[in-house]
Chains A and B, each alone.
Chain A
């Protein structure tokens, strides 16, 4: 059974479409990255899944129950939604006790989550004395209180220093290894790459990709750059590769072969067999960040002008298609 499934999930805020007919599948088990530019609809989607917002259209299921009845699965789901939210004039322990009481959980759960996130010794201090990183850890502790099957974390590494980020990353991997499902929204793509085995990419409330990280990485654009020792060999080399089915282009003095890095030895061998010595042989593969930017564009979804322009462009394209 999939942990989260949505069909045509849509949310309008007046004339703004925050989420547009989103079909989402999050399989059970493992850590799933939920990425998209600012304002792409990640938080709105998460809020609809948690019953905080009512969808304008579409349906969804969380742990097999419809999102129109969140009470059926709330006890099996933990969440960190945007910034940590606590009563600053209470201790971390009292804040957690209050949330545990709301869920009908024993205080042993409070002790357990305090230990899990490493706040032992500081748990009786007022939250107002906490650093942002400690508040973030406290928020993760609150999400872990119900010992959830599904953990939804919106930007869990926000405000953390590098050591804190590594700590949270390790925690996420551990939690994922325990058989839980984690849906982790983050801007830090390196974190997604390090902690997640599945990824969902959305932009302007629409899904661009959903699947294993390995599948996404297999789609990454890659090329090998070559420069022969003698410039006059450039054309012959291009012809040799072209004959063998490689897509070749010239970029100034370089020969660029559109192929994965693994083909570099073969390209080198072909050149050597023809007596051509290579002065440069460099394989380049897209990082997740480059793939993300290529898929989503470099626009920020929070920018209303950008979004309006995007919509206008889409409408114009639709009109042109209709005219044709």
Chain B
């Protein structure tokens, strides 16, 4: 398994993935913080959109408020990144070499998940730190009190944990769809289409579905809990989606005929 992890990491550490993935997440962390501070207290947010109040920004965890805005965007980046990393094995034909060198295909999946999770952790950490650094500047620019921003480390760590957990589940979703469709483009479209459009349609018909559906769970995970789903429930549901997704990927990979 460690062999697969090492092999995957060698392929992941390249300029395009570092700039596009980790850099993209950090950029969204910073931009959303700027937007959060600029729009604080203003009305007019669309359905499902979160705009922090000025009081929320001045609270002990106020510097992390922007991350809430960025959570779904970072999730989409993660989904896309995992989908590209998975589908490109098929589009390049690399899967032939990988499956020949390691015929125990479950190891290929688990190793890839581990490598991509590490990558996601680095990306979400970069986003968290970028949000924190940007918040310091924004507090000065938008005249927000930072008096309550004293015990930074635990709050920052909690924000990072929530964001990383949420992004990892987004990523597994991207991996599974890319594995099923063998196309990163389709995976991104299906993933975003479901979470942004289809899940809302389901919730409109089955009201209590928002207590357990994937999108609602991911939002609750990133926010550290919502009125509909507590953080503990979100954690359990997220773990179930994560394990379920990995199991589906292993089964698909095990029975796949490699004709590419």
Taking beta carbons and an 8 Å cutoff, which residues of A are in contact with B? Answer: 47, 50-54, 69-71, 74, 77, 79, 81-83, 85-90, 94-95, 97-99, 101-104, 142, 146
Contacts and interface: CB of A to CB of B under 8 A. Distances in A.
Interface string B157-188: 00000000000000000000000000000000
Interface of B: 3-4, 6-8, 10-11, 14-16, 88, 92-104, 257-259
B101 A74 contact: yes
Nearest to B4: A102
A54 to B, nearest CB: 7
A50 B98 CA distance: 11
A98 B85 CA distance: 14
Given A47-B259, A85-B93, A98-B10, A104 B99 contact: no
Given A52-B258, A101-B3, A102-B4, A81 B11 contact: no
A70 B103 contact: yes
Contacts of B258: 47, 52-53
A151 to B, nearest CB: 12
Contacts of B11: 87, 90, 94-95, 98
A294 B48 CA distance: 72
A79 B101 CA distance: 9
A86 B94 contact: yes
Given A90-B11, A104-B3, A51 B99 contact: yes
A102 B96 contact: no
Nearest to A47: B258
Given A53-B258, A85-B94, A98 B7 contact: yes
A74 B100 contact: yes
Given A102-B3, A102-B102, A97 B96 contact: no
A82 B92 CA distance: 12
A146 B102 CA distance: 12
A77 B10 CA distance: 23
B257 A102 contact: no
Nearest to A49: B100
Contact of A86 (B3, B14, B92, B103): B92
Question: For B10, B99, B259, which residue has the most chain A Cβ atoms within 10 angstroms?
Answer: B10
Contact of B103 (A51, A94, A98): A51
Contact of A87 (B4, B94, B100, B101): B94
Given A71-B103, A87-B11, A101-B10, A53 B259 contact: yes
A74 B3 CA distance: 15
A101 B94 contact: no
Contacts of B100: 50-52, 70, 74, 77, 79, 81
A89 B20 CA distance: 14
Nearest to B256: A52
Given A71-B103, A74-B103, A89 B259 contact: no
A232 to B, nearest CB: 65
